[in-house]
Chain A
Amino acid sequence: MAKYLLIDFGSTFTKLCAVDTEAEDIIETASYFTTVDSDISIGYHKALKKLFEKAKKEIIFDQVIACSSAAGGLKMAAIGLVEELTVEAAKRVCLGAGAKVDLVFSHHINQSEIKQIFDKKIDIILLAGGSDGGNSECVLYNALLLGKAGIKIPIIFAGNKSAQDEILEIFETYGINGFICDNVMPKINILNIDSAREKIREIFLKQIIEAKGIKKIESEIDEVVLPTPKAVLDAAKLLSEGYLNEEGFGEIVVLDIGGATTDMYSICTATRRSDVLIHGLEEPFAKRTVEGDLGMRYSAPGIIKSLSEQEIKFINMEKHLDIEKEVEKRYANVMSLPENPHDEFIDQFLAEMCAYRSMHRHCGRIEEVFTPMGLVYNQIGKDLTDIKYVIGTGGVIINSKNVEKILNRTTNILNKAGELRPVNPEFMVDEKYIMAAMGLLSKKEPLIALKILKKYIQKIRGNDDGLKE
């Protein structure tokens, strides 16, 4: 039994969570601004001091482990052949590994795309293309182009296995920091995540952390084990599935609205119905999508961009505000926190938009097809209609006075035919902001992490507002 300190170096906040595994409980949590630009340990020490003050004692930790999404997180480029197939598979692998997919390229890449890889300061490239035994010309062309461009960042090859030997040759010839993995799509529509995802994690630990300024603090912490989104995904999976005799929650959706992105996680099978035909690439059981254009601060302008001029006017009229101005204000000062009811109202409104839009992109679609054999259901993506719980996390949700209204936006409030959103879920909130920390703890003590998750992730109390029917 031991005392753990779990750290999440976020893009804005460094969040600490102290756990006593003997008591199977959290001792205390604290946070402070992340200071990655100067020296990441300043913010860490300030947060630690706060933690000790709150706990009214100094705690000696047996283990200190951290996850990180500081300095822009893990930025990846996903390259594949056909958009709906290997490109999508590569993208899902990156997202499942907790990365931010900043660039997505298909078919033969070109010089302007290579330039973007340099400009966007990509950390790792995932190069896929071709099913096993299928097309290898395209990946070889792309590998060669990357080699000639003098790319020094790690490149993971996870494409057609028949091209492996020649890829290795290219890696050697051009001195590429290259790695070989199993194909992300070995057969048409079959997704194979594990090998490439594990490789991404390995590279993240060995090479990326150093570049992100987290190395400076390594003498004080034992290890940085995961990118933060991966920790949240692991926590969600644990909470859903349970561990040993400790039961989980079953099928869940987790919504994390942050300053720069909105992350959506669903832990469930693609469908439980036997009367539908599923089309397209296989869906992962634990699926994460990230909306880089939906967020409360850095990405607030993205919310407006997705609206038409008429919609903006309607909102302004309806709510008596200037939504464009409000968004500009938040974008200009990303550290700002709501100071008055008006600010809170706007944040609440933006969060509701993020929740609605991100679910729109995450959930699957179903359509009725009339055939001479009768009515047939054709499904693309994941069916979330049976989801039992929708769990909210992230600053704006935790601090909102009406969380239920935000989370309710993940259901089919506009009655869009065909969108497979959760139908009648219960809403819960990660009040203490511990999901990432418990994802970390689950690497060491899964049972205790699960017990703590179940204890602190609470159903929203009261305030039903008659939202459900």
Chain B
Amino acid sequence: MIHVYKSAYKNKENTLKTIVIGVIGADVHAVGNKIIEYTLHNVGYNIINIGVLSSQEDFINAAIETNADLVLVSSLYGHGEIDCRGMREKCVESGIGNIFLYVGGNIVVGKQDFVLVKKTFMDMGFNRVYPPGTPIDNALADLREDLGE
């Protein structure tokens, strides 16, 4: 039997929580991405920003290497549903199935009923889904609740 070092996890509780952020798909909206990085960094999270034009695999790879607690996906150009589909399944396959997945921005085209949109993304395995125009500050309470203080 291989003895797995538990301290790797134990130490984790005393250190910063790590969040991977980025903009998914063929989307190059960089401004909001920087604001998210700035805000979350200032409240004390360890932020790994993989930037724009990122694929699902880019997010997942970064999350594995950095032992991240949460992945926050931004999508501003309306194709979020296509870009995010299957992401939870890939996380499961990659051994990080329990990671928190957040998504926000203009995640679908046009003005659709957000209740339905939210349900779609929740069914895809996202833990939190934010409507267009949500300031990142509004997500802080959720982060605290999910990740603990």
Is B67 within 8 A of A130, CB to CB? yes
Output the least CB separation between A176 and chain B (Å): 16
CB–CB B65/A134 < 8 A:
yes
Nearest chain A CB to B6 CB, angstrom units: 9
Judge whether A5 is part of the interface by a CB distance below 8 angstroms: no
* Identity of the chain B residue whose Cβ is nearest the Cβ of A371 in the assembled complex: B26
Q: Verify B9–A81 contact, CB threshold 8 A.
A: no
8 Å CB contacts to A: which residues of B4-60? 4-5, 7-9, 11, 15-16, 18, 26-29, 46, 48, 50-53, 57-58
Contact status A137-B27, CB under 8 Å: no
A273 → B minimal CB distance (Å): 15
Question: A370 vs B27: C-alpha distance in the bound complex, in angstroms?
Answer: 9
- Shortest B1–chain A CB gap in Å is 10
B residues less than 8 Å from A166 (CB atoms): 5, 7-8
Check B65 against A144 for contact (C-beta < 8 Å).
Answer: no
Majority SS at the chain A contact face: mixed
- Chain B residues closer than 8 Å to A378, beta-carbon distance: 53
Q: Distance in Å from the Cβ of A184 to the closest Cβ of chain B?
A: 11
Supposing A277-B28, A370-B26 touch, asked if A136 and B8 sit within 8 A by C-beta, the answer is yes
Interface residues on B, range: 20 to 34
**Is B3 on the interface with A (CB-CB < 8 A)?**
yes
In the complex, A185 Cα to B62 Cα: how many Å? 11
Residue of B nearest to A189 (CB): B50
- Number of residues of chain A lying within 8 A (CB) of chain B: 35
Q: Tell me the A272-318 residues at the B interface (CB within 8 Å).
A: 277, 279
Asked if B2 contacts A144 (CB within 8 A), the reply is: yes
Point out the residue from A137, A279, A373 that lies within 8 Å of B5, measured CB to CB. Answer: A137
Q: Which of A82-90, A97-105, A211-219, A427-435 contacts B (4 or more CB under 8 A)?
A: A82-90
Shortest distance from the beta carbon of B63 to any chain A beta carbon, whole Å:
9
B61 interface residue, CB < 8 Å from A? yes
Min CB–CB distance A166 → chain B (angstroms)? 6
B120 within 8 A of A: no
**Contact partners of A86 in chain B: CB under 8 A:** 65
Do B65 and A277 touch (CB < 8 A)?
A: no
Tell me whether B140 is interfacial, beta carbon within 8 Å.
no
Most buried by B among A188, A369, A371: A188
Chain A residues with CB below 8 A from B4, complex form: 137, 140-141
Shortest beta-carbon distance from B54 to chain A in Å: 8
**Shortest Cβ distance from residue B52 to the other chain A in the assembled complex, whole angstroms:** 7
Interface residues in A91-147 by Cβ distance below 8 A to B read: 107, 129-131, 133-137, 140-141, 144-145
Please measure, in the bound complex, the distance between the C-alpha atom of A140 and the C-alpha atom of B67, giving whole angstroms.
Answer: 14
Query: How many angstroms from the CA of A222 to the CA of B53 in the assembled complex?
Result: 53
B66 within 8 A of A: yes
A81 to B60, CA, bound (A): 12
Is A376 interfacial (CB-CB < 8 Å)?
Answer: yes
Given A141-B4, A188-B50, are A81 and B65 also a contact pair (CB < 8 Å)?
yes
Is B2's CB under 8 angstroms from A85's CB? no
Contacts of A187 in B (CB 8 A): 48
Q: Is the CB of B53 within 8 A of A131?
A: no
Contact A371 B65 (CB under 8 A): no
**Contacts of B48 on A, CB cut-off 8 Å?**
131, 187-188
Measured between beta carbons, the chain B residues less than 8 angstroms from A185 are 65
A277 CB contacts on chain B under 8 angstroms: 28, 51-53
Considering only residues 52-89 of chain A, those with a C-beta below 8 Å from chain B are 81-82, 84-86
Chain B residues near A163: list those with CB within 8 A: 8
Q: Is the CB of B2 within 8 A of A131?
A: no
CB <8 Å contact, B8 and A376: no
CA A371 to CA B8, docked complex, whole Å: 41
Q: Does A162 contact B (CB under 8 A)?
A: yes
A134–B18 touching, CB < 8 Å: yes
Q: With an 8 A cutoff between CB atoms, is B64 at the interface?
A: yes
Asked if A466 is an interface residue, CB under 8 A from chain B, the answer is no
Find out whether the CB atom of B26 lies under 8 angstroms from the CB atom of A131.
no
Show the binding face of B for A, using Cβ within 8 Å. Answer: 2-5, 7-9, 11, 15-16, 18, 26-29, 46, 48, 50-53, 57-58, 61-62, 64-68, 77-78, 95
* Beyond A84-B57, A133-B46, A163-B8, 9 extra complex contacts between A and B, CB < 8 Å: A85-B65, A137-B8, A137-B9, A141-B4, A145-B2, A188-B50, A188-B66, A277-B53, A372-B27
